């Protein structure tokens, strides 16, 4: 009988990519709660909380893959706290989403496990959508100031 264990399926690069993604999602969940609290309209607050729900879903997906591949629970850390001023927070979030799209595409290319590859590709599409929302809010905020 052939045992197909995680050692074969998970090269170190994908584990490192999942760790980085888990920290990024964890940081975004905290950041967007703060950003939603600072939003000047109900529409923006609601949309940012919708985005935050996506990040929670991404976090759960990546954490589940990490646990199934390593046998360990992730220990997430906030990699970079987001600015407290709303406009600066939007700018930070826009750039972070754009950078995350690139990183997830690279991580998908590196992944040999199809489930890991698909998780990165699906999340990349969501992050691209988030980036557009933050750019829209940034444009609206600049018009207010
Ligand atoms: Fe995400
Ligand atoms: Fe996002």
Q: For residues 140 and 86, is the Cβ–Cβ distance under 8 A?
A: no
Band (80; pLDDT cuts 50, 70, 90): confident
Residue 5 confidence (pLDDT) above 90: no
- Report how far ligand 1's centroid is from the alpha carbon of 54 (Å): 6
Which one of the ligands is nearest to 58 CA? 1
Q: How far apart are CA 15 and CA 12, in angstroms?
A: 5
pLDDT tens for residues 35-58?
999 999 999 999 999 999 999 999
**To which residue do tokens 């927070």 refer?**
89
pLDDT score, position 1? 46
Which one of the ligands is nearest to 98 CA? 2
Q: How far apart are CA 107 and CA 90, in angstroms?
A: 25
Band (145; pLDDT cuts 50, 70, 90): confident
What pTM value is reported for the model? 0.91
**Domains of the chain, residue spans:** 10-144
Mean pLDDT value of segment 84-111: 97
Fold for domain 10-144?
A: Ferritin (1.20.1260)
- Report how far ligand 1's centroid is from the alpha carbon of 56 (Å): 7
- Report how far ligand 1's centroid is from the alpha carbon of 127 (Å): 6
């Amino acid at each position: 009988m052939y045992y197909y264990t995680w050692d074969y399926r998970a090269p170190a690069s994908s584990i490192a990519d999942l760790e980085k993604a888990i920290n990024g999602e964890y940081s975004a969940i905290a950041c967007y709660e703060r950003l939603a609290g600072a939003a000047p309209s109900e529409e923006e607050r609601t949309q940012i909380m919708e985005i935050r729900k996506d990040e929670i879903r991404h976090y759960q997906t990546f954490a589940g893959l990490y646990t199934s591949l390593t046998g360990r629970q992730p220990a997430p850390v906030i990699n970079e706290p987001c600015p407290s001023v709303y406009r600066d927070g939007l700018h930070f979030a826009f750039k972070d989403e754009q950078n995350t799209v690139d990183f997830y595409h690279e991580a998908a290319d590196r992944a040999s496990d199809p489930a890991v590859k698909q998780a990165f590709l699906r999340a990349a599409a969501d992050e691209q959508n988030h980036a557009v929302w933050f750019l829209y809010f940034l444009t609206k905020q600049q018009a207010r100031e």
